[in-house]
Amino acid sequence: MQLDKNKPEKISNEEIVKIIELARWAPSGDNSQHWSFHWDGELLRVFVDKQRAEHILNPDDVCTYYAMGCLFEYIEAAALKYGYKAKLKYIDNDDLFAEYQFAECPADSGYIDSLCKRYTDRRYYKNKAVTENIINKCHNLAGKFEGIQLYFKTDKKYPEKFLDSFIKAEQFLWHKFKNLNFILQWMRLSKKEFQESSDGLSYGNLGINFIDALNLKLTRLYPFLYPLMRPFVLFKIAYNTKRYLREGAGLFTITVSDLTNNQQKIGVGRLGTQIWSYLNSEDISVQPMTSLVMQIYYFNQGNLAQAFDLNNIEYIQGAEDIFKKIYEIPSEEQLAWQFRFGYSEPVTKAMSIKRRDVDEMLNIS
């Protein structure tokens, strides 16, 4: 590859806009897009929108760092498409999270093209294995990260205690209406809601049908329906979770040596994004399954009940030991992020989600 001699030496405002246009498609919890940018002609400053980052699964901002790692992958890949190497300076001072400078380099659009085809698939997967070559490729990606490891579980043999913990972790939103109501605010439960929004998740992307979406919308509007809906929803979550675990190709988990290390948390987001986009490029669907590992983390911190406002946390006791045993994870490593993966039907338009306009998140001075 050669440098483009017709390209200006200094990156232009128009090119920054194009980079953010692509980078805004990075994944974030419930598609909250908790970031904004400022470009002054020299530095691209990346800010965390703490109000958007607030989430019932993110009381200590662990998932914020994962999402920022995902965003960094998109920014750097997008810059490369236009012939610039994005040089990151990590700051993490209040709302200001990082700064980027840009230096000219040979253009390469391959990675950003792959990232922009990434998708989340919450549907059922086919009971079909992936090849060892694909798993080895994922391990090769993980090998580039210090203090971060990757583990696959593909035999789909799970002890009952693990299944029970997994199911109850997925059901936790329905233990308290205020927890559920928080998530409902990010759900777009009708075509009109989806068309009028630029964030959140459509019910098609959530993998639920029209009737389920209507029931959730009624629960959001009329909280007194919550006790009536709860038993049916808990049953469906249990059914779906068991099916998710017993079908598809399996699960994979990312671990770290120190989950209090912010650089490692950012690395988790970067690695997760790389594996996610690679598997999608091989027509393999992926869904992050964050609830169990996050609840294990807060249990170990001693504040699970407080963080998630739960009265009963017995289901999580011993879950980490079983989790590590079935994955063969060394005891000293800390669980960070878990995904399920497998072959599915082709992606549909109903699974689409939106992003905020560049003008809403980028300020140029």
What mean pLDDT do residues 136-158 have?
Answer: 96
User: What spatial distance separates the first Cα and last Cα of the chain, rounded to whole Å?
Assistant: 33
Q: Are strands 250-256 and 334-342 parallel, antiparallel or unpaired?
A: antiparallel
Asked whether the predicted pLDDT for residue 344 surpasses 70, the reply is yes
Q: In 3-state terms, what secondary structure has residue 256?
A: strand
Rg (CA), the chain: 21
Q: Give the H/E segment covering residue 285.
A: strand 285-288
Rounded to an integer, what distance in angstroms lies between the CA atom of residue 226 and that of residue 184?
A: 12
Residue 341's DSSP bridge partners are 250, 286
Specify the CATH architecture of the domain 13-118+356-364: 3-Layer(aba) Sandwich (3.40)
Task: Look at residue 1 in the predicted model and tell me its pLDDT.
Answer: 46
Of 123, 115, 92, the closest CA to residue 19 belongs to 115
Task: Identify the H or E element spanning 26.
Answer: none
Q: What is 132-350's CATH number? A: 3.40.109.10
For the chain, residues classed under CATH 3.40.109.10 are 132-350
The mean predicted confidence, pLDDT, of the chain is 92
Confidence band for 178, pLDDT divided at 50, 70 and 90: confident
Is it the case that residue 8 has pLDDT exceeding 70? no
298, pLDDT greater than 60: yes
Contact indicator for 265, 257 with CB cutoff of 8 Å: no
In tens, the pLDDT along 192-209 reads: 999 999 999 998 898 888
> Sign of the CA dihedral 340, 343, 344, 349?
positive
What digits encode the pLDDT tens for the residues 252-292? Answer: 999 999 999 999 999 999 999 999 999 999 999 999 999 99
Strands 201-202 and 187-188 turn out to be parallel
Percent of the chain residues past pLDDT 70, beyond the cut: 96
pLDDT band at 309 (very low <50, low <70, confident <90, very high): low
pLDDT in tens, 56-92: 778 789 999 999 999 999 999 999 999 999 999 999 9
214 three-class SS: helix
pLDDT tens per residue, range 92-143: 998 999 999 999 999 999 999 999 999 999 999 999 999 999 999 999 999 9
Q: Where along the chain do the CATH 3.40.109.30 domains lie?
A: 13-118+356-364
Instruction: Report which secondary-structure segment, H or E, holds 271.
Output: helix 262-281
φ/ψ region of 42 (left if φ > 0, alpha if ψ in -120 to 50, else beta) reads alpha
pLDDT for residue 328 is more than 50: yes
